[in-house]
Structure 1
Amino acid sequence: MTSPARPPAPVPASGPFDLGAIGAGLVFADSLGVLEEALRARGAAGTAVVQAPPGTGKTTLVPPLLANIAASTIAASNFATGAVREKGPRIVVTQPRRVAARSAARRLATLDGSRLGDRVGYTVRGERQAGSNTVIEFVTPGILLQRLLSDPGLEAVDAVILDEVHERGLETDLLLGMLAEVRQLRGDLTLVAMSATLDAPRFAALIGETETGGNDGGGPAPVVDCPSALYPLETSWAPPAVPRLDMRGVTRAFLDHVADTAAAAHSEALARDMNVDALVFLPGAWEVSHVAGRLRGRVGSGTEVLELHGQVSPEAQDRAVSGRDPGGPPRMIVSTGLAESSLTVPGVRLVIDAGLSREPRRDSARGMSGLVTVSCSRASADQRAGRAARQGPGQVVRCYDQKTFGAAPAHRTPEIAVADLTGAALVLACWGAPGGRGLALPDAPPQAAMDDAVEVLRELGAVEPDGHATDLGKTLARIPADPRLARALLDGAAAVGHRTAAEAVAVVAGDQRAPGADLTRLLNTLRAGKDPAARRWAEDVRRMEAIARQEATGVAPVHPDAPVTGAEAVGFVVALAFPDRVARRVPGQGPERYLLSSGTRAGLPAGSPLTGHEWLAVAEVSRAEGRDAAGTGAVIRSAAPLTADTAEAAARHLLAETVEAGFSQGRVTARRERRLGAIALSSTPVRPSVEEGRAAVARALEREGLGTIGWSMAADGLRRRLALLHRELGQPWPDVSDQALLGRLDEWLAPELEALAGGAATNRIDLADPLRRLLPWPEASRLGELAPEWLEVPSGSRVRIDYPDVADDGGRPVVAVKLQECFGWAATPRLAGERVPVLFHLLSPARRPLAVTDDLASFWSGPYAQVRAEMRGRYPKHPWPEDPWTAPATARTKRRM
């Protein structure tokens, strides 16, 4: 007997989303059924990859579809179990940028006919428009990462949508791996990855079902495609006559070219249609401001010029991405990559693209990371161009040539491959996957970069020896800042106060550019509320101050010898975070050049108010891409002043006092040096110990070889003779190459090394006697026979034998002698046990070479006649007999004979 059917439990009071009304005119509306079927085919929840071009409406339509599916699933569960779930569905959607999250939430709320923050809301750092009844919440990836660390199961969430995964942001990549693990434990969590341009099969495999999760026994996630929504697009090329980039970054001449091209193209477009707005793409905020300023001077008051980048206020960002007011003037939006994806800016039918983007790069050799300007990828260029053809036929003007476009990389470099990984390493340690081990990430992090990041975390006390997070590490992960800044917040609060420490950390963690690299000036502007980002900064300060008051580091607080106030308080906190970036002005090299404790040299931007300060705490330093780097190759982006005392207190673990002994100009000298990392604090001459002297001599010999001591003529001659015997006869004749001798110093040079270490000068040491210690006995008694120093020639003269260089494997012993001294000599002498014939250089009376031979008999029988014919007239006083065999050998002239 079947039980009576229960009436279906009500859907949550908010009701379903009207997909027909929301999706009116959007291309992706035709793909909703395919996506729903793909998700429902896997049971109550599933995974999918949505691959849809820009402008199709995927960001607007997929979240309400998932909300409706979740609502029906809740209703079915209520019916089956008799229980009533109090909360309605919760869909979380990530957007890579704050402006995109706010814009997407506002648009969906408008189409839904609800108030922003009710059914549809958003949460970004320092700003929240959402509540307990919010069904669809747009967030940045960092917000969702924080939630995952505090609630690894996301128990109150029914579905997660990761949008714009093709951008390969570091946080989004981490979310892909972490949420795939959550899916293994929660088969009821729906996970969708969305992008305009995506390697779909690869991501489908990453987020697909596993044997332990899902309901179909495994396999990749289904891929749902959507046709392009773009209208016809005309592409024009406007290459500049000036370079786009030089050693100082983007050239002003190129920016002027972009502005002039944009003004002319927009004027032509308006002549055809007054409803055309323009979108200009540039790599960074400085370039946006420069071009926007020039445009305002070109287009006049009849056109509104708006800036869109991370440093303008949220209100200004929202105004830029909103449509033109009815009857309002034409608009030109000058933007960074913020508008490249996610956002559809109403009215834009013209795009002017500089073809540049700013991407993170890590310089491990100099301990720097930051943004550098590069040519944008072809995929990014296509995304930008597509902005012009979303709502009608459009035009893109590329301010470069087709060859440059073809040479650009196909896709943007994944951030995980080039960025500083310290923050990511802490997230992974807290997640239980140290270094990313066992996590299915789109790309594995570079091992060297991850090792460096984990080492930083160990120094902070954030990870255990096995790589998992400590309690302190979990606390640092809750602070919205780099782990080094988070630790500085906790350590510095006792010295400068909780409020001041929180302000310093918040200003460094923010994305506002310090004017002239002066952090204190930026901080004062934020305190006064004069910066557009002041509200968000103040919210960050409140959060960080609360954490600083609640948490303890478990270590003794850092206290400098004297109270720290004012600008130095900011510098002290920055130095606590980045002790390797404590910097001191380099004497004699200008007031703007500094040496960091890491050993890197960097310069302040021209005109910086920090110029001339003796000590700085540097928060950001990058390769010389900015307007100036004082010729050092690196530029200080933000810093605050320090004193010597606060610098030493903050970077106390880098303090070292050593005796540096060196060997130069033939003697050992030493100085006692006190250093803060690479920065010399003081240096005084001292007498080195014998051990220090011995080490200095060893270093010099290793670096410069035995030539540091010097080879006398006698020592060099003996060494060459031994080298020939070793080459021809082998053992027991010793190897006297540099490498062999340096490897046996204790066997033959120990007394002399002790003398040098004790202060003796090299001019008192002859290496000939030490070298004889290597002679083998009893074979040494034959040295004069096997490799004599001199050779007696028929004239009676004794001529020195010039042996080949030690490094010359094929060299021959040479005797340079006047030809007349060898008359009658038939048998060429041979050395090294008759193995090596002597090579004769037969000389003229003026000691110029006449012939080279190792076969005297052949020379007298042949070439001599030609030599005689050429030389007898030139040197008539010397004998040139027709028969050299019977002529007496002589060193004299004919008269003296």
Structure 2
Amino acid sequence: MESATFPISPLLPAIADSLAAHPRLVLEAPPGAGKTTQVPLALLHAAWAEGRRIVMLEPRRVAARSAAAFMARQLGEAVGETVGYRIRFENKVGPRTRIEVVTEGILTRMIQDDPELGGTGPGGIAALLFDEFHERHLAADLGLALALDVQAQLREDLRIVVMSATLDGQRLADFLDAPRMSSEGRSFPVQVAHYPARREESIEAQARRATTEALARHPGDVLVFLPGQREIARLQAALEAAAALPADTEVLALHGELPVEQQSRVLQPAPDGRRRVVLATNVAESSVTLPGVRVVIDSGLAREPRFDPNSGFSRLDAVAISQASADQRAGRAGRVAEGWAWRLWPESQRLEAQRRPEIAQVELTGLALELASWGSDALRFVDPPPPGALAAARELLQRLGALADSGGLTAAGKRMLALGTHPRLAAMLLAARDPREQALAADLAALVEARDPLRSRGDALAERWRALAAFRGGHTPANASRTALAAIDAAARQWRRRLRCDATPPDTVEAHALGDLLAHAFPDRIAARHPADPLRYQLANGRMARLFDDSALRGEPWLVASELRFEARGDALLLRAAPVDEARLREDFPQRFVEREGAVWDPDRRALVARRESRFDRIVLDSRPAGRVDPAQAAQALTDAVRELGVSALPWTDALRQWQARASSLRQWMPELALPDVGDGALAATLDAWLRPAFAGKTRLDALSEEELGQALKSSLDWNARQHLDRFAPARIVVPSGMERRIDYALDDGGVARPPVLAVKLQELFGLADTPRVADGRVPVLLHLLSPGGKPLQVTGDLKGFWDRTYPEVKKEMKGRYPRHPWPDDPWSATATHRAKPRGT
């Protein structure tokens, strides 16, 4: 049995005592404190946990295996006895296991499958621990929301512990109504410097220079943070080829896709004492300890999920890390002795303070499916999902057949959920008619999820599949990556295993076989050729798309796109697609082929016309005139037109946009008012509720007046909400001169409220000491102080400081330029005015 003292050790009794008295706890502890491995062991023998399990959520597979192995060694046991772990495709728990370390998808399934979590008897779950919560993964946020609901409704005895190295602990403690405890860490001083890049230098080349210099100048091992596997592979090849590396230096990679044996090797000290260079993703940022590291070289980048509208999935993009992550990475150099951290970005570059939660920036179809399965939207999220993104996710789930019109889960939706993958891919995997099609669907799922295995450009998905088939036959095409094809082949095997499919993947397939399956994953991207242009296609979602001029798919009657690029104006661009057989479409989607007569939006005339149409979803297959527009259908048709064009197509005025910014800002500044979301995304998601009534009796979009639009927009706020808006976010404010002046409100590109701006002539504020505030005094107004001629003089949020320090200089410069306006020596006692001095004074 291993024994060691950790910085968190003195706090462990207090943690157990706190959980005996209160069922929730927020624990802050820096890397190296020992929270991941010591807290579960300390709770094992608590009276409230006797005979029951403790489940700890780890966001990464490497950390889950490492934490379980370390705790098992401390108990003198093998993994799978008292301590085990469960991750995707791997399970090491046994009948005696009482501490389970699980990854995020596993925890969600455990709660969904058994909301009582085994109850209060032996074998039930006594506590859920959320480790490294600051990473703010969507699955962790969902898991916590589900756990809180279970605790509130079914299991008051359930303990919930949220642990992190860097987070806003007080905010989280307030949200959870939980005690907050903090532990010291174990660290030595770290010298931080910014290592300059050369002109046009890649991040790998800069990291290579920094690594060789660090090995020459400093002792110990070197840890290099890079965004992903590609960068790691390129830098590893460059370092191993470099003659500058000392002969006894070993270069190792560390990321989540490595085999367990290689991961374990990196996490153990070098047996022969050699120096090591570890090239890691942000998996090494927390939860795992790398012995011997004295130097950290940080690229400042990480691959994090972002919604990719081209693919319809959340993809991993290389993005700048937060300041909290940068500090945590640097701290890795000070775990055993004094260390050094070299940052590969300019010192002038400013990072966001904390990592933004995934729930605010990824695609939410999987979340919407989980919520439907849970049967309630009334979950408490630390940061609630954006309404617009959630509404779009539910619309897609209905297209996929996972949700009924009532919002409940269908039988197909339940089967999709059980597959544990993105609902698009699940729908495709379940659509296969026989084992041979299942094997082909497994190939497609692996291809769609993977990076492109071809080096050459091309939009035919079939070319990628043929390269995979050739690889299996022992031949790798010249324009393909063998490594990428091997990874795709391995992923396809995993899909076949999950589907219990024993069929061998086919060697060849018919022209439409790929598209016939893919249509079930992308029903909104099924496309029919334009009758007058073989390169243009109309999509099932109503948009138009275009092939490349040299496309191998030119002229195909029907396509389905797995990737396309939506342009701000004009047609989308089809990046990857496959042909579809219309006969198969009619077999698989008969309800989507319809004949209808009614009002149709004519984009050229920007009005409704009556047509008799044959359609597949929003693809018009045939259209003929049908008399006059039916008024009963007009309001809905115009609302649908706005849904397609976007809410920006409405007759907005500056005053209405200001009203929207005021309401959105106040909603953020004073969340307790519970104001509705009136951002463009939320408005687009609720058009039927607020806009459709305003279109009654109209047949043209421009028939909606600015006044009618304003009334429709403001209908979402009741009388009390409107009073709050006028009181706490006024459109105008009376300044000391007695005049009313406008306050400008605005949101940044991420929808976050900016400080409100009051542009006012300096002379109108004489005698005013304190900066005006809105939102019940919480938010200071940013003053744009103007000259008598209306030109900007100063921007300040500290009026008192301006009068004390800056005004004398402004007066000296402006008095001669504007002699007919007052420039008193004492602005505190001067009379505010918006006028010039009378002539002769």
**TM-score, normalisation: structure 1:** 0.58
| Equivalent residue, structure 1, for 2:322 | 377
Could you list the per-position Cα deviations for residues 699-754 of structure 1 after superposition, in whole angstroms to 9, with x for gaps in the alignment?
Answer: 9xx99xxxxxxxxxxxxxxxxxxxxxxxxxxxxxxxxxxx99x979xxxxxxxxxx
1:415 maps to 2:358: yes
Partner-residue secondary structure (3-state), 2:185:
coil
The count of aligned residue pairs is: 609
What is the distance in 2 between the residues matched to 1:641 and 1:304? 49
* Cα deviation, residue 545, structure 1: 3.6
What aligned pairs does 1:216-615 form with structure 2 within 5 A after superposition? 220-242=177-199, 253-254=200-201, 256=202, 258-272=203-217, 275-282=220-227, 284-298=228-242, 302=247, 303-310=249-256, 312-315=257-260, 318-319=263-264, 321-327=266-272, 329-362=274-307, 369-404=314-349, 406=350, 408-433=351-376, 436-437=377-378, 439-494=379-434, 497-505=437-445, 508=448, 514-515=453-454, 518=461, 520=465, 524=469, 531=486, 538-545=493-500, 565=509, 568-582=512-526, 597-598=540-541
Partner-residue secondary structure (3-state), 1:27:
coil
> For the Cα contact (< 8 Å) 1:578–1:619, is it kept in 2?
yes
* Cα deviation, residue 192, structure 1: 1.0
> For the Cα contact (< 8 Å) 1:351–1:384, is it kept in 2?
yes
Report the AA paired with residue 14 of structure 2: V
> For the Cα contact (< 8 Å) 1:63–1:136, is it kept in 2?
yes
Partner-residue secondary structure (3-state), 1:403:
coil
Among candidates 8, 13, 17, match of residue 33 of structure 1: 13
Among candidates 107, 110, 129, match of residue 144 of structure 1: 107
* Cα deviation, residue 501, structure 1: 3.6
| Equivalent residue, structure 1, for 2:479 | none
Partner-residue secondary structure (3-state), 1:478:
helix
Could you list the per-position Cα deviations for residues 646-669 of structure 1 after superposition, in whole angstroms to 9, with x for gaps in the alignment?
Answer: 56766666657899998999xxx9
Among candidates 160, 164, 183, match of residue 128 of structure 2: 160
> For the Cα contact (< 8 Å) 2:519–2:560, is it kept in 1?
yes
> For the Cα contact (< 8 Å) 2:366–2:423, is it kept in 1?
yes
* Cα deviation, residue 173, structure 1: 0.5
What aligned pairs does 1:674-685 form with structure 2 within 5 A after superposition? none
Could you list the per-position Cα deviations for residues 422-465 of structure 1 after superposition, in whole angstroms to 9, with x for gaps in the alignment?
Answer: 111111121121xx32x111011111111122222333443344
Could you list the per-position Cα deviations for residues 322-373 of structure 1 after superposition, in whole angstroms to 9, with x for gaps in the alignment?
Answer: 2343126433333333322222223332222222233333477996653444
What is the distance in 1 between the residues matched to 2:205 and 2:145? 45
What aligned pairs does 1:747-786 form with structure 2 within 5 A after superposition? none
* Cα deviation, residue 149, structure 1: 1.0
Of 47-56 and 379-388, deviating more is 379-388
| Equivalent residue, structure 2, for 1:176 | 144
What is the distance in 2 between the residues matched to 1:357 and 1:271? 27
Report the AA paired with residue 64 of structure 1: L
> For the Cα contact (< 8 Å) 2:190–2:333, is it kept in 1?
yes
Where does the alignment leave 5 or more consecutive residues of structure 1 unmatched?
Answer: 1-17, 76-87, 208-219, 243-252, 549-563, 704-738, 745-897
* Aligned Cα root-mean-square deviation (Å): 4.7
> For the Cα contact (< 8 Å) 1:321–1:343, is it kept in 2?
no
> For the Cα contact (< 8 Å) 1:230–1:386, is it kept in 2?
yes
Partner-residue secondary structure (3-state), 1:402:
coil
User: Are the structure 2 counterparts of residues 113 and 426 from structure 1 closer, same or farther at C-alpha, using a change threshold of 3 Å?
Assistant: same
User: Are the structure 2 counterparts of residues 339 and 27 from structure 1 closer, same or farther at C-alpha, using a change threshold of 3 Å?
Assistant: same
> For the Cα contact (< 8 Å) 1:164–1:195, is it kept in 2?
yes
> For the Cα contact (< 8 Å) 2:33–2:186, is it kept in 1?
yes
What is the distance in 2 between the residues matched to 1:278 and 1:287? 14
Partner-residue secondary structure (3-state), 1:68:
coil
Q: Percent identity?
A: 37
What is the distance in 2 between the residues matched to 1:690 and 1:641? 37
Partner-residue secondary structure (3-state), 2:263:
helix
Report the AA paired with residue 297 of structure 1: A
| Equivalent residue, structure 1, for 2:40 | 63
> For the Cα contact (< 8 Å) 2:366–2:422, is it kept in 1?
yes
Partner-residue secondary structure (3-state), 2:55:
strand
Report the AA paired with residue 141 of structure 1: E
Report the AA paired with residue 161 of structure 2: V
What is the distance in 2 between the residues matched to 1:357 and 1:442? 23
Partner-residue secondary structure (3-state), 1:118:
coil
Report the AA paired with residue 360 of structure 1: P
* Cα deviation, residue 58, structure 1: 0.8
> For the Cα contact (< 8 Å) 2:208–2:235, is it kept in 1?
no
| Equivalent residue, structure 1, for 2:657 | none
User: Are the structure 2 counterparts of residues 370 and 658 from structure 1 closer, same or farther at C-alpha, using a change threshold of 3 Å?
Assistant: farther
Report the AA paired with residue 32 of structure 1: L
| Equivalent residue, structure 2, for 1:245 | none
> For the Cα contact (< 8 Å) 1:52–1:194, is it kept in 2?
yes
* Cα deviation, residue 537, structure 1: 5.0
* Cα deviation, residue 496, structure 1: 5.3
What aligned pairs does 1:57-136 form with structure 2 within 5 A after superposition? 57-69=34-46, 72-73=47-48, 88-136=51-99
> For the Cα contact (< 8 Å) 1:476–1:487, is it kept in 2?
yes
What is the distance in 2 between the residues matched to 1:586 and 1:599? 13
Could you list the per-position Cα deviations for residues 270-304 of structure 1 after superposition, in whole angstroms to 9, with x for gaps in the alignment?
Answer: 3355532322322x333333333333333578443
> For the Cα contact (< 8 Å) 2:446–2:488, is it kept in 1?
no
* Cα deviation, residue 599, structure 1: 5.8
User: Are the structure 2 counterparts of residues 567 and 110 from structure 1 closer, same or farther at C-alpha, using a change threshold of 3 Å?
Assistant: farther
User: Are the structure 2 counterparts of residues 640 and 50 from structure 1 closer, same or farther at C-alpha, using a change threshold of 3 Å?
Assistant: farther
What is the distance in 2 between the residues matched to 1:590 and 1:293? 46
Could you list the per-position Cα deviations for residues 142-167 of structure 1 after superposition, in whole angstroms to 9, with x for gaps in the alignment?
Answer: 10111111111111212211111111
Of 522-531 and 445-454, deviating more is 522-531
What is the distance in 2 between the residues matched to 1:614 and 1:118? 59
User: Are the structure 2 counterparts of residues 505 and 533 from structure 1 closer, same or farther at C-alpha, using a change threshold of 3 Å?
Assistant: closer
User: Are the structure 2 counterparts of residues 391 and 652 from structure 1 closer, same or farther at C-alpha, using a change threshold of 3 Å?
Assistant: farther
Report the AA paired with residue 289 of structure 1: A
* Cα deviation, residue 134, structure 1: 1.6
User: Are the structure 2 counterparts of residues 274 and 743 from structure 1 closer, same or farther at C-alpha, using a change threshold of 3 Å?
Assistant: closer
> For the Cα contact (< 8 Å) 1:366–1:600, is it kept in 2?
no
Report the AA paired with residue 40 of structure 1: A
Of 471-480 and 447-456, deviating more is 471-480
* Cα deviation, residue 61, structure 1: 0.7
What is the distance in 2 between the residues matched to 1:663 and 1:186? 56
Partner-residue secondary structure (3-state), 2:170:
helix
Partner-residue secondary structure (3-state), 1:580:
helix
What is the distance in 2 between the residues matched to 1:634 and 1:622? 5
* Cα deviation, residue 541, structure 1: 2.5
Report the AA paired with residue 403 of structure 1: S
What is the distance in 2 between the residues matched to 1:607 and 1:293? 36
Could you list the per-position Cα deviations for residues 215-250 of structure 1 after superposition, in whole angstroms to 9, with x for gaps in the alignment?
Answer: xxxxx22222011322211111134355xxxxxxxx
| Equivalent residue, structure 2, for 1:85 | none
> For the Cα contact (< 8 Å) 1:368–1:623, is it kept in 2?
no
